[in-house]
Structure 1
Amino acid sequence: MPKLHVVTDSGSDLTSRVLRKLAIHVVPLTVQFEEEIFHDGVDISVEQFYERLQSDDVMPSTCQPSPIDFVQVYEKIAEPGDTIISVHLSTKMSGTYQSAVLAGTMVEPDIKVVTVDSKCASIGAGMIAAAAAEAVQKGLGLDEVLDLVGQAVESLHVYFVVDTLEYLQKNGRIGLASALVGTLLNIKPVLTLVDGEVAPFEKIRGKARALKRLHDLAAEMREKHPNRRFRVGLSHSMSPMEAEKLAEALREILPLDGEIMIGPIGPTIGVHTGPGTVAMFAYPVG
């Protein structure tokens, strides 16, 4: 009987436990420090990455998987007649989606590949992939899975606080938030994503106040979607205590659908955000 499979990339920042539980397959991006190239989550750990990021003089870069990288994974997991749902980083941030689309034209003709632009990154993209995988495990058909995924993509709220805009600026991912560069010392902008592109939301003095603002934004989400429960994810770059403190607050503020998904921001996204970032992702269900 034909099967549905879910694939994502390392920019989704899903933990190994979640990947195993939901049978999600990952195609890694690479991160490059000068002449050294590492596959995210394969031959460099999160801890090793941030240590290098802060100690090396040269800013690292990332590279999307090639179409061949995707083809190898697709043909390894799928049999003729199967369908692969491939969920990836926002097209405004990476060419990974385009590589997956091209790979879909290169696989065996009896294998169907449906690519999904999450319009997000980190655990936000991971939540979309997880929603697809959970629907597959429940036995939903392709059209039902894609309808559910589409709703999640369009209703996902994203807010994040960075310690500095330096990394987003140097790596060309600052997007619409470029207007904030050069603002006053200790201004910690709350950023968001607009159609998958980084954009400014609010300027706040001090990180503690910026993180507290995320509590308020969660309360606004609850008011905007009364009688709805929320899927919530948090990611952080070497700031586990700040993420857990935020999680504790969100458990009181929002009616949750399942556990809050918490995890570190890996090399793929960490190159662009730098250390000290905390991100909140949420969408209503039911």
Structure 2
Amino acid sequence: MSKIAVITDSTAQFPNPSFQGKDLVRIIPLDIVINDSIIKEGTGVKTADLPLSPSNERKTKLLVPSPAEIAEQFVVLLKKFNELLVITNSANLSAFYQNSIEAVKLIQGETTIQVVNSQTIATGLGMIVQAATEIISTGASLTEADRHVRQLIPHIYTLFCTPCMKYLYNIDILEYSQAVIGEMLNLHPIFTLEEGYPQAICKVRNFRHAQDYFQEFIEEYDDLIHISLLKGINTQGIDNRILKLFVQENFPDTPFSEHRINPFLGAIFGPKTLGLIIFERPYSLSG
């Protein structure tokens, strides 16, 4: 049986820290640029180290390895594993997906490496990675695992609320002038990821109102596999108990997890971010 590794990136967060096939997961590290200094993963950078509002244009951002650097890591991994399933954060949030595609071409690894754009991030990405390792652990081939995760992707729903709008300029979601004015007015826009691209769906006055919107959003679904709440720094007004009680009453069989956003997610949306990611049960998995 072919030995398959599941590769992802530092933005992934796992709702279940111990899951079937965890030993198959390898994470390609990402770095963060703060005030023109490159902070390497593993050097102790925290979400709180990120500025709430970068002082100048494009000062704080995620730094993705080049195609050549990723290719080098693929070559090393292929000495231990026969095949690689690479699952990246949304291609609209960082260059990791595109750089991984280019890396595969550099080493002519099209027959042994599959690259999947998860169209999500954080716990959404983590849940897809977990699903991949679980099916691989049961004996699925690379093609079968690739097909399985692609079928799950449309059932991951992602919301983010952030007043840190200069970060959204860094990923080409807003013009710089829009970001500056939005921060001056202390706007709290809520974005959903539509096929991985951030789309603004509404504005709220504060994080408490964002949590109310999150609850209304959850109410639209009937059968959920997992619900996760992500909190950044200084998210005042959030009482996790209210949302957790709502989930317990309306989705008693659905796990609910709470997470602090990691600095890599913070470098994309800003450290003062509130997020909701839900995983709907696909029809093929029902019953």
TM over 0.5: yes
Once the two structures are superposed, the pairs formed by residues 168-207 of structure 1 within 5 Å of their partners are 168-169=168-169, 171-174=170-173, 182=181, 185=185, 187-207=187-207
Q: Structure 2-normalised TM-score? A: 0.80
Decide whether aligned partners of structure 1 residues 89 and 208 sit closer, same or farther in structure 2, where only a CA change above 3 A counts: same
1:249 and 2:232 are equivalent in the alignment? no
CA contact (8 A) 2:53 2:164 kept: no
**What residue number does 2:232 align with?**
237
Q: State the alpha-carbon separation in 2 of the partners of residues 166 and 255 from structure 1.
A: 39
Aligned residue for 1:231, secondary structure, equals: strand
- In the TM superposition, residue 159 of structure 1 has moved relative to its aligned partner by 1.4
AA partner of residue 39 (structure 1): K
Deviation at residue 138 of structure 1 after TM alignment: 2.8
Q: CA deviation at 1:240?
A: 8.2
In proportion to residue count, which structure has more helix?
1
In percent, how many aligned pairs have the same letter? 21
Counterpart of 1:123 in structure 2 is 123
Distance in 2 of aligned mates of 1:270 and 1:80: 33
2:165 maps to a residue whose letter is L
In the alignment, the residues of structure 2 paired with residue 13 and residue 7 of structure 1 have an alpha-carbon distance, to the nearest angstrom, of: 13
Q: State the SS of the aligned residue for 1:220.
A: coil
User: In the comparison of the two structures, how many residue pairs are matched?
Assistant: 275
How far 1:141 sits from its partner (Å)? Answer: 2.6
Cα distance in structure 1, aligned partners of 2:60 and 2:195 = 26
Question: In structure 1, the residue corresponding to 2:209 is in which secondary structure?
Answer: helix
The structure-2 alpha-carbon separation of the partners of 1:159 and 1:15, relative to structure 1 and needing over 3 Å to count, comes to closer
| Whole-angstrom CA distance in 1 between matches of 2:6 and 2:200 | 32
Instruction: Describe the shift of the 1:76–1:256 C-alpha distance in structure 2 as closer, same or farther (beyond 3 A).
Output: farther
Q: Which amino acid aligns with 2:228?
A: G
Superposition deviation, residue 111 in structure 1: 6.9
Q: Distance in 1 between matches of 2:102 and 2:186?
A: 44
CA separation in 2, counterparts of 1:107 and 1:262? 39
After superposition, give the CA deviation of every residue in 1:153-179 in whole Å (9 maximum; x if it has no partner): 11211112223423213x134269x98
- For residue 44 of structure 2, what is the aligned residue in structure 1? 44
Q: Are the structure 2 counterparts of residues 243 and 159 from structure 1 closer, same or farther at C-alpha, using a change threshold of 3 Å?
A: farther
Judging changes above 3 Å, is the alpha-carbon distance between structure 1 residues 192 and 110 closer, same or farther for their aligned structure 2 residues? closer
Contact 2:263 / 2:271 at 8 angstroms: preserved in 1?
A: no
- For 1:25, the equivalent position in structure 2 comes to 26
Distance of 2:257 and 2:149 partners within structure 1: 17
Report the CA distance shift for 1:122/1:110 in structure 2 as closer, same or farther (over 3 A). closer
Counterpart residue number, 2:264: 268
Shift of 1:88: 0.5
Displacement of 1:135: 1.7
1:218 to partner: Cα distance:
0.4
**TM-score w.r.t. structure 1 length?**
0.81
The alpha-carbon deviation at position 260 of structure 1 amounts to 3.4
Contact 2:20–2:130 (Cα < 8 Å) also in 1: no
RMSD (Å), alpha carbons: 3.3
In structure 2, the residue matched to 1:225 is none
Per-residue deviation at 1:215? 0.8
**Distance (whole Å) between structure 1 residues aligned to residue 181 and residue 67 of structure 2:** 39
Distance 1:102 1:160, change over 3 A: same
CA contact (8 A) 2:61 2:167 kept: no
Letter in 2 for 1:264: R
Contact 1:30 1:64 in 2 (8 A): yes
Q: Secondary structure at the match of 2:98?
A: helix
1:135 counterpart = 2:135: yes
